Amino acid sequence: MSNLPIPQNEFTVSEISLALKSLLEKNFAKVRVKGEISGLKIADSGHSYFSLKDDGAVLNAICWRHAAAKMQIKLEEGMEVICTGSISSYPGRSFYQINVEKIEISGVGALLKLLEQRKEKLAAEGLFAPERKQLIPFLPKTIAVITSPTGAVIKDIIHRIEERFPVHIMVWGVLVQGTEAAQQIADAINGLQNLPDNIPQPDVIIVARGGGSIEDLWPFNEEIVIRAAAASMIPIISAVGHETDTTLIDFVADKRAPTPTAAAEMAVPVRKDLATTLGHYYNRQLSALRNLYRTQTNTLSQLNLRMMVAERLVNQHQQQLDGNWHRLKTSMESFLSRRSDNFIKTSAALSANRLQYQHSLSQNQLLTLNQRIQQYIERRIADESNSLELAEGLLQSYSPQGVMKRGFAMVKHNDKFISSVADLSPGLKIKITLHDGSVDADVTYRS
C-alpha cells in the first residue's frame, strides 16, 4: 500500500460520476448494440425500459417515447434486436446504459422464429381449429372493412363490391403498421361486436392492408389482434398483404383472401350472374308450371269423361235397383197375404179339445219311444259284457302265467331268456320260473 501514489486531490462521488458519464458519452456517442430484450417495462409516460443481454453480459437500455413511437414493431420479451444510440450513465444509481434512438429487429430470421413460436402457442390453444370457422353469408346486407381509410386498399374493395353487388359498406379506419396499429385493429374488431342499435350490424368483416415487409405486416401477427379475431361473433375475411404473404390473422380468420380485391369477391356474389341464374330458374319454373297445367288439364278432362261414363252406369244400375225393389215389394206383399190367410185358417181349425188330444197323443208316443230306447241300451250292455268276459278268458289263457299253469316254464341266465339247448353248457347257472315260483339250478349235463 505504501508504494501506491497518493492522489493530490480528493474527488466527490458526484464528480467521479459526472466524469465517468462524460467519458462514456464522449467515447460511445454513436454505437449499435445487438442483444436480446429482457425485463421489458413500458411506463405510463411511453418510455420503454429494458435490458440487452447476451451469453456474457447485460446492458441497461432506455428508449424514449419519441423514439418508441417510430418503431414498426412492438417490443416483446425475448426479441433479438439491434439498438442504435449512445452510452451514458445514471449517476443516481451508478450504472451505465444505452439511450436508444432506433431499434431494428436482428434480421428476418429472428422475426420468423418469434412468429413460429407464437403460431405454435396459439394453435395449441385451439384458436386455429377448423371447427371454429364460421360460414361467410352468401349475400350480406352490410360489410365492415377494417383498414387504412386513405390507402388504395379501401378504394379497391369499395370499387369491387359496387361493381359486383352494391351493399352498405362500413369503413373503420385504423393504422395498419407501427406500434399502435395492433391495438387499433383489435379495438375495431371488438367495437364492431357492440355497435349501437341505430347502426346496422355488419354481416361480415374484412380486415385488409396492402403488401409490405414482415415488419410492416407485424401488427397482424400480434396476440391482441389474433385473440380479438378469434372472439368475433361476426365472420372475418383476412386480406393482408399479397398472395405470398402470410400472417397469423390468416389462420384465425374464417376465410383467407390472397388480396383485398379477392376478399371483396368472397364477400358478395356477382349481381348479373345472380340475375341470370334467377332468370334461368324463373324460366324453368314457368315451364314446369305450364307442363303441370297441361298435364292436370288433360287429367281433369279424362276424369270428366270417366265421370260421365260412371254416371251412366249408376243411372242404369239405379233403374235396375228400382225394378228389383218393386218386384221385391210385390212379392213380399203377396207372401204376407198368403201367410195371413193360412194363419186365419189354422187358427179357425184349432180348439182346446183338439190341442189336448194332440198333447196326449204326443205324450204316449214319447213314453213308447223312451221304453224302446231303454230296452235297446240294456241289450247292448249285456252283449258288450259277454264279449268282454270272453276276451278276458282268452287273454288269461294266452298270458305267460296261463301257459306255465299248463306245465311250461321259463329259463333265464343273467336275466336273458334261454330258448335253445344250444345256449346251455355245463356249469352254467340258470333260473327256472314256474307258475307258482322260481328255482336256481346248475347245468351238469347236456344231451
User: Which distant-in-sequence residues (6+ apart) come within 8 Å of 185 by Cβ?
Assistant: 146, 174, 176, 207, 219, 220, 225, 228
Pick from 287, 318, 205: nearest CA to 254: 205
Of the chain, the percentage scoring pLDDT greater than 90 comes to: 32
* Cell numbers linked to 386: 259277454
> Rounded to an integer, what distance in angstroms lies between the CA atom of residue 203 and that of residue 193?
11
For 153-310, where are the E strands, in sequence order? Answer: 168-173, 204-209, 236-240, 255-256
Pick one of 3.30.499.10, 3.40.50.261, 3.30.70.890, 3.40.50.2300 as the CATH number of 115-269: 3.40.50.261
Amino acid residing at 309: V
Contacts (Cβ under 8 Å, ≥6 apart) of 187: 174
Is 402:396 a contact under the CB 8 Å cutoff?
A: yes
CA 340, CA 301: separation in Å to the nearest integer?
57
The pLDDT assigned to 229 comes to 96
Grid cell locating 84: 442504435
Q: For 48-62, 251-265, 293-307, which range has the lowest pLDDT when averaged over its residues?
A: 293-307
Rounded mean pLDDT of the chain? 85
pLDDT tens for residues 308-361?
887 788 878 888 888 888 888 888 888 888 888 787 777 666 656 666 777 777
Report the sign of the C-alpha dihedral through residues 212, 215, 216, 220, in that order. positive
Distance (Å, whole) CA 153 – CA 169: 14
Domain ranges of the chain: 13-106, 115-269, 272-308, 402-442
Q: How far apart are CA 160 and CA 270, in angstroms?
A: 10
- DSSP code string of 350-405: --HHHHHHHHHHHHHHHHHHHHHHHHHHHHHHHHHHHHHHHHHHHHHHHSHHHHHH
Contact 221, 254 (CB under 8 A): no
- Residue 428, pLDDT > 80, answer yes
Cα gap 165→235, rounded to integer Å? 19
Name the CATH superfamily for 13-106: Nucleic acid-binding proteins (2.40.50.140)
Provide the grid cell at 102: 432506433
Tell me which long-range contacts 415-419 makes (C-beta under 8 A, separation of at least 24).
none
- Contact of 442 with 433, CB cutoff 8 Å: no
Identify which of 157-171, 268-282, 408-422 has the greatest average pLDDT.
157-171
pLDDT for residue 171: 96
